[in-house]
Amino acid sequence: MSNSRKGVKLFYDVISPYSWLAFEVLCRYRNVWNIDLTLKPAYLTGVIYGSGNQPAGANPSKLMYMVSDLKLTSEYFGVPMFRPSSISEKDSLNAMRFVTAIAEKGKDGDTLERVSRELWKRKWRTQQDITQPASLTDAGLKAGLSANEVEEILTLSKSQPIKDKLKSVTEEALEYRCFGFPFIVCNVNGKAKVFFGSDRFELMAYFFGEKWVGPQPDKPTVQM
Ligand SMILES: N[C@@H](CCC(=O)N[C@@H](CS)C(=O)NCC(=O)O)C(=O)O
């Protein structure tokens, strides 16, 4: 492992299952690769339309591929997930405002991580709603926030500054020419290198001068 700290920004949305995979891998590799991980909650729909892309659901072949690919990748990554009964990219707006409010409230990175994970679990594991205040409250409580904190964050999440913040982080991603999530911006020797997808870690490792031993570094799939 090289000693230098590596700056990594993860742009994500909890509606995106591939973002969940990338998120878990970056959390697992944080101490292995000496990563300074910055979570950048953003809005997938904003990035898809802002970049002139189309949602995956717009192409039936792509959608069918994603369904079968996610079965394989979730097993390989050790992140169990199941296809929700309904998926609309727009469904994550309230959830991502909620997560943004946590980031802006100056809550520690652990809280942001735990709340994001709880929301992914709801949507992609237990197939629960993530649009309603009661759902966000439940995710916040499960992540260890107190009832008062959740109440405060819910109110904050509806405020104009938080709506603007989510928009500006989404615009920041678009400035890097992002067109989908997960979108990972790495600082490699002072230069930004960008990666789309949860399947680019081998390439990232190469540029970082680190070893990639598969998505579960404690259970390596590759012996170096
Ligand atoms: N190959 C990528 C696929 C990632 C992906 O499909 N992300 C979706 C959101 S969950 C997306 O933004 N798609 C836009 C696109 O494929 O153009 C991976 O394995 O992570």
Q: Give the mean pLDDT of 212-219.
A: 95
pLDDT in tens, 159-179: 999 999 999 999 999 999 999
What is the arrangement of strands in the sheet containing 35-41, beginning at the earlier edge strand?
Answer: 35-41, 6-12, 183-188, 191-196
pLDDT at 158 over 70: yes
Q: What is the pLDDT of residue 224?
A: 52
Whether residue 220 lies inside any domain: the answer is no
Percent of the chain with pLDDT over 70: 97
Whether residue 86 lies inside any domain: the answer is yes
Confirm whether 16 is a catalytic residue: yes
Is this complex's ipTM strictly greater than 0.90? yes
Distance separating alpha carbons of residues 173 and 185, to the nearest angstrom: 9
Probe target for ligand 1 pocket from 64, 87, 174, 181, with the most ligand atoms within 8 Å of CB: 181
Q: What is the pLDDT of residue 87?
A: 79
3-state secondary structure the chain: CCCCCEEEEEEECCCCHHHHHHHHHHHHHCCCCCEEEEEEECCHHHHHHHCCCCCHHHCHHHHHHHHHHHHHHHHHHCCCCCCCCCCCHHHHHHHHHHHHHHHHCCCCHHHHHHHHHHHHHHHHCCCCCCCCHHHHHHHHHHCCCCHHHHHHHHHHHCCHHHHHHHHHHHHHHHHCCCCCCCEEEEEECCEEEEEECCCCHHHHHHHHCCCCCCCCCCCCCCCC
Whether residue 79 lies inside any domain: the answer is yes
The distance from CA 187 to its chain's CA centroid, rounded to whole angstroms, is: 18
Catalytic residue among 16, 92, 135, 157: 16
Probe target for ligand 1 pocket from 16, 44, 72, with the most ligand atoms within 8 Å of CB: 16
Residue with CA at minimum distance from ligand 1 atom 4: 197
CB 94 within 8 A of CB 131: yes
CA of 155 to the centre of ligand 1 (A): 32
Number of domains in the chain: 1
Whether residue 120 lies inside any domain: the answer is yes
Whether residue 12 lies inside any domain: the answer is yes
pLDDT at 1 over 60: no
pLDDT at 10 over 80: yes
CA of 66 to the centre of ligand 1 (A): 8
Q: Give the mean pLDDT of 19-36.
A: 97
Distance separating alpha carbons of residues 158 and 136, to the nearest angstrom: 13
Distance separating alpha carbons of residues 68 and 83, to the nearest angstrom: 10
pLDDT-wise least confident of 5-9, 55-59, 98-102, 118-122? 55-59
- pTM listed for this prediction: 0.96
CATH number where 127 lies: 3.40.30.10
Parent domain of 170? 6-208
| Cβ neighbourhood burial of 191 (10 Å; 0-12, 13-18, 19+) | exposed
Whether residue 168 lies inside any domain: the answer is yes
Q: Which residues line ligand 1 (CB under 6 A)?
A: 16-18, 53, 56, 179-181, 197-199
Whether residue 218 lies inside any domain: the answer is no
Identify which has the larger pLDDT, 5 or 53: 53
Q: What is the pLDDT of residue 212?
A: 97
Whether residue 39 lies inside any domain: the answer is yes
Q: What is the pLDDT of residue 223?
A: 56
CA of 216 to the centre of ligand 1 (A): 21
Q: What is the pLDDT of residue 85?
A: 80
Token pair, residue 73, equals: 């990748």
Q: What is the pLDDT of residue 56?
A: 82
pLDDT in tens, 70-113: 999 999 999 999 988 877 777 899 999 999 999 998 767 799 99
